[in-house]
Structure 1
């Protein structure tokens, strides 16, 4: 008989982890670089996998480690969350660090059964017993369950015309109560020495707001509003009145809440007096936010309620009778934002021709071309893209859509054209947006045997990122031309004013002289920099004087700052200095240096034994 549990565990182990190229595409260049440093410095701990759910802790700038949760999907990531406040595009450095450790096959991972498997073994009475027992110590669980049930959409057969829609109205009371519970948890006082600081999880608040999204996706704006309005009420009343001074990050949720309320309002069949009443409520909320200096909020929802779909000029544009929107032609960010909201509403409601007319008039070129692909009007999408796209990030969106539609030649054509939109190396915006497109095209073209295209894309990716991963990827497609290409790449690297991976690339090729020259005496990399430590190990025989200066500087930066948790790292640096002294035959100088350090730090009871231990090595 086959052991099913063993089979499941074996299949889980056999699943691919994740490629570094995939991780790079999920984050900005800065987040990827900083996440790699975190991973190299050992900041990631307690890596645990339950089926497709990966969790870990990451040490950061706060006293408490950040909690990271990632849902895997095949060789990629379905979604990821971190308890840090990062919200500037792509995943944060903590998520990147966890993914990089996960990608490293040498990283040990604790494996446990997925929760679904654990619960599947229980009958209903036992499950109820467990929940009731938990609520004795966690009464907030009841509130959460009530909110979950209140916002649920019952499953219906897919052939039903109303599939995915809920027939009964959502009860807003459990939603309001859950919002208040979560807000209270964010500012619960901890132990007296911790002070008064946020302790709840902002991700839970975000997930509560997103309860409205499934309703919006099926065009049910009325029920979406019944979820969003009580959350907004709790946010404005409870947070502003009691928590503003202790939580500077929560206000970022107001922008999401306002956008979703705008979508819901445009989907809802509200009477004129209902629209006016809700707009008046949102205006009152917005005035309260602005009293606290918060600009993000409900502006777009207010304008959506005030204008609706009633503007005759807008109606003409959506009917294909107008050539430009908005009519003012000015730089009105709010109207541009509202136009993007209108497009999402039109798509959710299946009003595709009106969508195309508005997108064309608003010059939303990516949205317009993407909808044409969904409507299987690919030649029109290609023609529009070639005529209208100006940036690489526009091209990558359409190229991915074409690939999903199995239009591979067209996807390659658009992606290659997008590479030409990157501009020169001084164009920072175009250059940074070229990297995701170039990496995507490199991997895609290489996977379907288009080696020349893959090489071209790989060169563009490195030209704009100057990363070790992109440098190494070029060799895969360079073939017999690698030696010539490698020389050009190193010349490009040497002349670049900024290159985060410069030292790592030199080390990977054994170019110790170049690496030492690149660092010079500017030891500003940080004592935790694993790359600098590797360079010291590689250079102590050929550049002993330089290694001594570097190692002593790095060790002193830790010891003089009294960073007791990193004293062992300081000792590692001093070991590099000892090796360099030995190469020079200056053991007496090393012993004198060590004696001076021991005397200077004699009162540091954690450090002194570590320094004295160096005498016998």
Structure 2
């Protein structure tokens, strides 16, 4: 089997364009998952080439397909009896597709992928939360990625306000079944953005500590973490250094200094990182 896989690129190059198109079309007609994946890849290519926003329809359809196996009566016929539920591998793959956009600071594109996932997860939660414990593992990651995306270029404050309302609604649905703070970091990121009092001063390197009062709670630390991730992706290196220093994220600060060639500064002793 491994030999066949290794030869696959060479075999594909021997095919004519017409034959290759026929094979792809044949697969799309028999495999809906592949067809939806292909539509999403086309959407990415079009957005990249035309410098336009990512078409949300293919990603919404993929999210709907992931969650389509759920629904009332499909999971439990008798008490304790459960049929197949959400395809968690497909769900993880769909979330993963937002990562390349986050890495280059395209929060708007990332949200096109992540929002239908969050909406679908909230909608199916009542049917699956009790039976499918691994689903809980998706919530912290979604919260972090949506928060990071919301803080990036291309996402206006108006868009953040709208997203905060959607997140609050989804969190309300999840809270009915135990996930009280599912999107707490993302909601805070949308509501506070980059306009929190004193933040611009800190980013400019003039603040001594962040938050200004000198103490933070877990939510504030999570919000600082996603702000740093957003600054990194947007190439705002000095702002990253100023915030990480003021917030006491000394490990992140030292790594960034080393990455920018400031090794001597990175090697200087600093206070213990309170996030370790």
- Category of TM-score, reference length = shorter chain: 0.7 to 0.9
Determine which of 211, 236, 255 is the counterpart of 1:370. Answer: 255
| Residue deviations 1:109-155 (CA, integer Å, cap 9, x gap) | xx433343343332222222223333343233212211222234777
Post-superposition shift, 1:222?
1.7
| Residue deviations 1:287-346 (CA, integer Å, cap 9, x gap) | 111111124521111001111111231111111111111224335101101101111111
Q: Is the 8 A contact 1:198 1:247 kept in 2?
A: no
Determine which of 104, 107, 110 is the counterpart of 1:224. Answer: 110
Given the two structures, how large is their TM-score scaled by the length of structure 1? 0.41
Instruction: Give the equivalent residue in structure 2 for 1:202.
Output: 88
Q: Is the 8 A contact 2:150 2:190 kept in 1?
A: yes
Instruction: Give the equivalent residue in structure 2 for 1:174.
Output: 58
Q: 1:284 and 1:154, CA in 2 relative to 1: closer, same or farther beyond 3 A?
A: closer
Say whether 1:113 aligns with 2:5.
yes
Instruction: Give the equivalent residue in structure 2 for 1:125.
Output: 18
Post-superposition shift, 1:368?
0.3
Q: 1:120 and 1:243, CA in 2 relative to 1: closer, same or farther beyond 3 A?
A: farther
Note the aligned Cα RMSD (angstroms): 3.0
Q: Is the 8 A contact 2:203 2:243 kept in 1?
A: yes
DSSP-derived class of the 2:270 partner: helix
DSSP-derived class of the 1:144 partner: helix
Given the two structures, how large is their TM-score scaled by the length of structure 2? 0.86
Q: 1:174 and 1:241, CA in 2 relative to 1: closer, same or farther beyond 3 A?
A: farther
Give distance in 2, aligned partners of 1:185 and 1:116. 34
- Which structure exhibits the higher relative contact order, with contacts defined as CA atoms closer than 8 Å and separated by 6 or more residues? 2
DSSP-derived class of the 2:207 partner: coil
Determine which of 143, 151, 168 is the counterpart of 2:36. Answer: 143
| Residue deviations 1:16-61 (CA, integer Å, cap 9, x gap) | xxxxxxxxxxxxxxxxxxxxxxxxxxxxxxxx6x3xxxxxxxxxxx
Q: 1:124 and 1:297, CA in 2 relative to 1: closer, same or farther beyond 3 A?
A: farther
Determine which of 122, 135, 142 is the counterpart of 1:257. Answer: 142
Q: Is the 8 A contact 2:85 2:128 kept in 1?
A: no
Q: 1:355 and 1:139, CA in 2 relative to 1: closer, same or farther beyond 3 A?
A: closer
- The 5 Å alignment of 1:548-587 reads none
Q: Is the 8 A contact 1:197 1:247 kept in 2?
A: no
Instruction: Give the equivalent residue in structure 1 for 2:192.
Output: 307
Q: 1:320 and 1:139, CA in 2 relative to 1: closer, same or farther beyond 3 A?
A: closer
- The 5 Å alignment of 1:11-160 reads 50=2, 111-114=3-6, 115-152=8-45
DSSP-derived class of the 2:261 partner: coil
Give distance in 1, aligned partners of 2:195 and 2:44. 30
| Residue deviations 1:136-191 (CA, integer Å, cap 9, x gap) | 432332122112222347778xxxxxxxxx7111111110110111223578979x
Give distance in 2, aligned partners of 1:375 and 1:389. 22
DSSP-derived class of the 1:388 partner: coil
Q: Which structure 1 segments of 5+ residues have no match?
A: 1-47, 51-110, 157-165, 395-617
DSSP-derived class of the 1:168 partner: coil
Instruction: Give the equivalent residue in structure 2 for 1:321.
Output: 206
Give the strand-richer structure, 1 or 2: 1
User: Which stretch of the first structure deviates more once superposed, 315-324 or 265-274?
Assistant: 265-274
Give distance in 1, aligned partners of 2:148 and 2:140. 13
Post-superposition shift, 1:211?
1.6
- The 5 Å alignment of 1:459-538 reads none
User: Which stretch of the first structure deviates more once superposed, 206-215 or 354-363?
Assistant: 206-215
Q: 1:246 and 1:147, CA in 2 relative to 1: closer, same or farther beyond 3 A?
A: farther
Instruction: Give the equivalent residue in structure 2 for 1:496.
Output: none
Q: Is the 8 A contact 2:66 2:90 kept in 1?
A: yes
Say whether 1:275 aligns with 2:167.
no
| Residue deviations 1:74-95 (CA, integer Å, cap 9, x gap) | xxxxxxxxxxxxxxxxxxxxxx
Instruction: Give the equivalent residue in structure 2 for 1:543.
Output: none
